[in-house]
């Protein structure tokens, strides 16, 4: 086993806690692709990737940028059975900092940002016209001298642009898996083909109490496919049946009881006011604005039983902003430890940066591990330490992959 770099400040702790799957109560949430918060995270991340590739193509390096402040302001629509109309478009506000000029060469950051946002809408939200239904406002500005200077300093690896902490974990519990998979199923290409009335704005909340799982799903029906109130409730019943069958076929053996609740605010006899109907398939059309950092964590769920950092990873630059790098790397390292060391029930990886210090030399890198009974601690400690050391040694390659958009952030 190779020698571990002591400058990486790696510690391994063996916990005697219950794993999350052994706890009595567990709560997990996922916001789907059409949710306003997901939209903000996904678009800002796409802009960061697009800028990173433009900087690399033109200057051979990724320049300073943080596209991690974004707001999707809800519009206004008029819905009716069979259709509706846009009264006021949604507005996407794109911030925070970017590099606009190198020497005498300009980078059209605003054009890149808007074009990328439009492409994302076209590729992901079926009924949103990226030209007509959304207005775009770019409020990006040049970065501060000190943070921009990080990108001018010599060395293959940049210094951390912030003092920040991140945590990742493995494996997913059954509850986390079902919440994640239900949203992906309802937003799958297959479901959209056979049940096109399903909106893209899917939110799933899972509550496990002992062996009993309650899933609450919110997903609008698209108005152009719904003739009247009776048709709405008929289609709603079919969707619930399909979701229920999927969950029981995939996860029925993992829970003693599974109950699915779908669009629970609906109330018969209230007309349009008693049903969840959408013109564009997203609540951002008139009900709910979105913001970067309020959606899923970088592993795709919001798991309330787990420790979580406060950084929003989406849109941050992939070579010095530890709010992105450490967030995603912590989950990757946790998975690597779990996958490669026998006898682990659960593992958490914590990474803490110190501003200005090289990103491969964190202020602290720590793993907390829950073992199955009878597993020797000494070997686990050494192997986990070696995996973390290797991950930090290869952080340069990892950052390149982040710049290519290899790792999702929502």
User: Can you give the pLDDT at residue 168?
Assistant: 98
Query: pLDDT category, 359, cuts 50, 70, 90?
Result: very high
Q: How many CA atoms lie within 13 A of 178 on its CB side?
A: 32
pLDDT, position 146: 44
Residue where one domain finishes, among candidates 262, 291, 320: 291
Look at residue 355 and tell me if it is in a domain.
yes
Tokens matching residue 242: 């399909």
410 within some domain: no
Q: What is the pLDDT of residues 303-320, one digit of tens each?
A: 999 999 889 999 999 999
| pLDDT higher than threshold 90 for residue 158 | no
In a domain, 143, yes or no: yes
Per the prediction, the chain carries an average pLDDT of 94
Does one domain contain both 345 and 253? no
Asked if pLDDT for residue 327 goes beyond 80, the answer is yes
**221 and 125 share one domain:** no
> pLDDT tens-digit profile of 64-106?
999 999 999 999 999 999 999 999 999 999 999 999 999 899 9
pLDDT at residue number 64: 92
Judged by average pLDDT, the poorest of 85-99, 145-159, 301-315, 374-388 is: 145-159
Check whether residue 168 and residue 178 sit in a common domain: no
Q: Give residue-wise pLDDT tens across range 282-305.
A: 999 999 999 999 999 999 999 999
pTM: 0.94
In a domain, 29, yes or no: no
**285 and 181 in a common domain:** yes
Q: Provide the CB-side half-sphere exposure for 86 (13 A, CA).
A: 20
pLDDT at 154: 58
Q: What was the pLDDT predicted at 142?
A: 85
Distances in Å between the alpha carbon of 63 and those of 56, 396, 407?
Answer: 8, 15, 20
Query: What's 10's domain CATH number?
Result: 3.30.300.280
Say what percent of the chain tops pLDDT 70.
96
Instruction: For residues 410 and 403, give the distance between their C-alpha atoms in angstroms, rounded to a whole number.
Output: 16
| pLDDT (tens digit per residue) in 107-142 | 999 999 999 999 999 999 999 999 999 999 999 998
- Shared-domain flag, residues 181 and 119: no
Q: What is the pLDDT of residue 148?
A: 54
Do 76 and 109 lie in one domain? The reply is: yes
Q: Are residues 275 and 189 in the same domain?
A: yes
| 8 A C-beta contact, residue 338 and residue 347 | yes
Task: State yes or no: pLDDT of 3 exceeds 90.
Answer: no
Of the pLDDT bands very low, low, confident and very high (cuts 50, 70, 90), residue 155 is low
- In a shared domain, residues 123 and 189: no
Domain of residue 347, residue span: 6-24+162-172+295-403
Angstrom distance (rounded) from CA 43 to CA 39: 6
pLDDT at residue 147 above 90? Answer: no
pLDDT tens digit sequence for 181-228: 999 999 999 999 999 999 999 999 999 999 999 999 999 999 999 999
Confidence of residue 376 (pLDDT cuts 50, 70, 90): confident
Last residue of a domain, one of 272, 291, 310: 291
The pLDDT of residue 145: 46
Mean pLDDT on 337-357: 96
Residue 284 located in a structural domain: yes
Say if strands 10-15 and 257-262 run parallel, antiparallel, or are unpaired.
unpaired
Q: What is the pLDDT of residues 249-268, one digit of tens each?
A: 999 999 999 999 999 999 99
3-state secondary structure string, the chain? CCCCCHHHCEEEEEECCCCHHHCCEEEEEEECCCCHHHHHHHHHHHHHHHHHHHHHHHHCCCCCEEEEEEEEECCEEEEECCEEEEEECEEEEEEEEECCEECCEECCHHHHHHHHHHHHHHHHCCCCCCCCCEEEEECCECCCHHHHHHHHCCCCCCECCCCCEEEEEECCCHHHHHHHHHHHHHCCHHHHHHCCCECCCCEEEEEEECCEEEEEEECCEEHHHCCCHHHHHHHHHHHHHHHHHHHHHHHHHHCCEEEEEECCCCCCCCHHHHCCEECCCCHHHCCCCEECCCCCCCCCCEECCCCCCCCCCCCECCCCCHHHHHHHHHHHHHHHHHHHCCCEEEEEEEEECCCCCECCCCCEEEEEEEECCCCCHHHHHHHHHHHHHHHHHCHHHHHHHHHCCCCCCC
Asked, for residue 59, whether it belongs to a domain, the answer is yes
Residues 250 and 196 occupy one common structural domain: yes
Is the per-residue pLDDT at 151 higher than 60?
A: no
CATH number at residue 105: 3.30.300.10
Instruction: Report the domain count for the chain.
Output: 3
Tell me how far apart the alpha carbons of residues 372 and 375 are, in angstroms, rounded to a whole number: 6
Q: Is 157 part of any domain? A: no
Q: How many residues does the chain have?
A: 410
Do 126 and 189 belong together in one domain?
Answer: no
380 assigned to some structural domain: yes
Residues 285, 307 share a domain:
no
Could you give the CA distance from residue 146 to residue 393 in angstroms, rounded to a whole number? 26
**Domain endpoint, select from 152, 182, 215:** 152
Would you tell me how many other CB atoms lie within 10 Å of the CB of residue 153?
10
Same domain, 194 and 58: no
């Amino acid at each position: 086993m190779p020698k571990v770099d002591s400058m990486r400040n790696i510690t391994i702790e063996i916990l005697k806690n219950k794993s999350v799957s052994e706890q009595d109560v567990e709560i997990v949430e996922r916001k789907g692709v059409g949710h306003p918060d997901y939209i903000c995270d996904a678009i800002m991340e796409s802009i960061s990737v697009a800028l990173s590739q433009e900087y690399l193509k033109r200057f051979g390096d990724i320049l300073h940028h943080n596209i991690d402040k974004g707001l999707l302001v809800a519009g206004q629509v008029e819905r009716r059975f069979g259709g509706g109309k846009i009264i006021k478009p949604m507005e996407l506000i794109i911030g925070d900092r970017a590099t606009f000029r190198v020497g005498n060469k300009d980078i059209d950051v605003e054009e890149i940002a808007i074009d990328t946002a439009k492409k994302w809408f076209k590729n992901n939200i079926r009924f949103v016209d990226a030209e007509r239904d959304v207005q775009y406002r770019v409020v990006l500005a040049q970065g501060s001298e000190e943070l921009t200077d990080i990108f001018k300093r010599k060395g293959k690896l940049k210094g951390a642009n912030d003092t920040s902490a991140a945590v990742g974990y493995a494996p997913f519990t059954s509850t986390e898996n079902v919440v994640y998979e239900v949203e992906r199923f309802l937003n799958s290409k297959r479901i959209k083909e056979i049940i096109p009335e399903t909106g893209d704005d899917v939110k799933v909340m899972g509550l496990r109490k002992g062996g009993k799982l309650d899933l609450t799903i919110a997903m609008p029906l698209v108005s152009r496919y719904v003739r009247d109130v009776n048709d709405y409730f008929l289609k709603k019943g079919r969707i619930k049946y399909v979701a229920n069958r999927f969950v029981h076929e995939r996860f029925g053996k993992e829970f003693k009881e599974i109950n699915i609740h779908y669009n629970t605010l609906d109330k018969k006899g209230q007309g349009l006011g008693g049903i969840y109907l959408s013109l564009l398939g997203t609540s951002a059309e008139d009900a709910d604005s979105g913001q970067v950092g309020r959606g899923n964590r970088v592993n795709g769920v919001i798991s309330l039983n787990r420790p979580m950092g406060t950084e929003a990873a989406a849109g941050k630059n992939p070579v010095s902003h530890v709010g992105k790098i450490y967030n995603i790397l912590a989950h990757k390292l946790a998975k690597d430890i779990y996958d490669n060391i026998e006898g682990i029930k659960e593992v958490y990886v914590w990474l803490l940066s110190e501003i200005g210090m090289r990103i491969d030399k964190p202020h602290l890198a720590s793993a907390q591990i829950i073992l199955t009974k009878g597993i020797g601690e000494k070997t686990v400690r050494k192997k986990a330490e070696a995996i973390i050391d290797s991950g930090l040694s290869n952080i340069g390659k990892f950052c390149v992959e982040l710049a290519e958009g290899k790792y999702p952030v929502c």
